């Protein structure tokens, strides 16, 4: 009986500290974060163009896509600023109480340096993204890349689906007469469903 002692109630586990390691320069990690954000923004706008073009028959002009890029950037900025604020609160709790618990993680005094590093990275990415949101050349370049990617993906999917016998025609007149309805179904339902799946896999 004495070999297996129950843990006493109220006894806290020691804080789970972040691993001690050399921290890369904040500028380097911010640069990497910007590459990730750039792809995320472009994918968000591309997917919006695809879904709205197929489902709602929306045809965007250049300025509308530029506005979509700006909105996508601001959304990522809000996320990174929220992350930075969270880390700031954790660090404040450590200063005040000597530790901070968040979900399954618990941090102590020894984690302050690494947490501050993370906070600076989030702040740096948010700052750089705000500059991009005000950079008209960047916005237009990204908008054009997103537009081209969207229509290339739509074109590839159209060619793949149109090559199927169901859409391509058949040997009877009745089958051929129904072709227009099948093509409309391709555009309004089947292709929309296909494109809804493809962006999720790309993400």
20-42 pLDDT tens trace: 557 889 999 999 999 999 999 99
| Dihedrals phi, psi of 199, to nearest 5 degrees | -60, -35
Interval 93-102 mean pLDDT: 76
Burial tier of 12 (Cβ tally within 10 Å: 0-12, 13-18, 19+): exposed
Q: What integer pLDDT is reported at residue 105 of this predicted model?
A: 62
Give the Cα separation of 9 and 5 in Å (integer): 12
How confident is residue 6, by pLDDT bands cut at 50, 70 and 90? very low
127-182 confidence digits (pLDDT tens)? 999 999 999 999 999 999 999 999 888 776 665 555 555 444 554 555 555 555 65
Higher pLDDT, 95 or 110: 95
> Per this entry, what is the length of the chain?
203
Q: What integer pLDDT is reported at residue 143 of this predicted model?
A: 96
- For the chain, the first-to-last Cα distance in angstroms comes to 53
pTM of the model: 0.65
Q: What integer pLDDT is reported at residue 7 of this predicted model?
A: 44
Give the Cα separation of 80 and 83 in Å (integer): 5
């Amino acid at each position: 009986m004495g070999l297996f002692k129950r843990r006493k109630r109220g006894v806290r586990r020691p804080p789970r500290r972040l691993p001690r390691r050399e921290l890369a320069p904040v500028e380097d990690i911010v640069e990497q974060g910007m590459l990730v954000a750039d792809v995320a923004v472009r994918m968000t706008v591309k997917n919006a163009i695809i879904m709205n073009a197929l489902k709602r028959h929306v045809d965007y002009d250049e300025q509308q896509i530029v506005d979509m890029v700006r909105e996508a950037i601001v959304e990522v900025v809000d996320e990174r600023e929220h992350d930075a604020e969270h880390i700031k609160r954790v660090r404040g709790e450590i200063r005040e109480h000597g530790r901070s618990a968040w979900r399954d993680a618990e941090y102590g005094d020894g984690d302050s340096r690494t947490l501050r590093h993370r906070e600076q990275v989030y702040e740096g990415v948010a700052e750089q993204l705000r500059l991009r949101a005000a950079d008209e050349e960047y916005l237009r370049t990204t908008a054009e890349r997103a537009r081209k990617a969207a229509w290339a993906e739509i074109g590839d999917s159209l060619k793949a689906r149109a090559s199927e016998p169901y859409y391509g025609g058949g040997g009877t007149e009745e089958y051929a007469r129904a072709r227009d309805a099948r093509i409309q179904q391709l555009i309004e339902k089947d292709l929309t469903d296909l494109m809804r799946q493809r962006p999720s896999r790309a993400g």
